[in-house]
Amino acid sequence: MRLALVRSVCCRSRFAWLVLLRINMKRFSNVRTLFFAPIVLIGLGAPAGLAGQNECAGRTADIIRRAYPSATNADDGTLLFEGATLTLAKGDGVDGDPHAVICRVWPAQPQLTLIAVPLMTEQSDSENEGDIELLVVDSTNLQVRQRLRLDGLMSDDAFRVRSVAFDTARYQLAPKRTAFGLRVSRDGSSRANPFGETTLWLFSIEGDRLKPVLDNIVVGESQGEWDTVCAGEFSETTRTLSMVPSAKDTIADIVVTEKTRTSVNTVGTDNGCKSEDETTTRKYRLRYDGSGYGVPKDLKRVD
């Protein structure tokens, strides 16, 4: 499932894009040695639509007990449910644990609360396996209204899941139909081949069902290959989404604006590290086909 969608009217929000830092180099006058900072994949901060990822933490345990009445307590404080482990956050934050349950009141419909429950069947330093179940509950009585299990979304190996977050920017599909997003960020551990990406899914409520309408679009990606000193090539891609009226349907189209910056670093004759940058922009238009938005293969996460 791959993108960062944001309405053009919400451009004030900054999505947490993964950014490849430029190599900083200093050359001492009497020593022909290059000093550089290692490349790091970082986020630039979360937009308003990503704030408060565990704002209902005080009620999460009650919600989970209602949603999974047969769950049992484990010795380490987690819950066990049908062979899967559920981890509750200890406070208003998730302490950087991507496997902890997150909870957010939906700003577009505050009578509803969104829950993402990682159901982990295996956890280790080398590999994780698990699903995510999305719950939509009544904000007042905590009764589950809709639920949807996303198989394998928490499974990883070489590229580890680093964060899971709700994206509650106002994705207005139609006058009385708004979607919410789920973002999953992964990164690699190789210094020579740095990699990071954030993928977005969108969901809407249809009757008593929670339905995926945008599947697996990469909204931010950074990658590179270098000699760990200077020479190498790096790229950073960001994608933003605008909801625009459709000429043929009552459901809005999505215009995706893609911006890619490529940097090629080489060692010059003076031992300096030189960089040549190129930026390209491309647009895509995604149309609703009756069941969801088709996403081009090139924009999807590759598993």
Residue 21, pLDDT score? 34
Q: What is the dihedral of CA 136, 219, 171, 142, to 10 degrees?
A: 10
Residue 204, pLDDT score? 97
Residue 52, pLDDT score? 52
Is the CB of residue 175 less than 8 Å from the CB of residue 183?
no
Residue 45, pLDDT score? 34
Residue 13, pLDDT score? 34
Residue 50 dihedral angles phi and psi, to the nearest 5°: -115, 5
Residue 62 dihedral angles phi and psi, to the nearest 5°: -65, -40
From first to last of its 303 residues, the chain has per-residue pLDDT tens of: 333 333 333 333 333 333 333 333 333 233 222 222 222 222 323 444 554 567 776 889 999 999 999 999 999 989 999 999 999 987 655 557 899 999 999 999 999 999 999 999 999 988 899 999 999 999 999 999 999 999 999 998 888 999 999 999 989 999 999 999 999 999 988 999 999 999 999 999 999 999 999 999 999 999 999 999 999 999 999 999 999 998 877 999 999 999 999 999 999 888 899 999 999 999 999 999 999 999 999 999 876
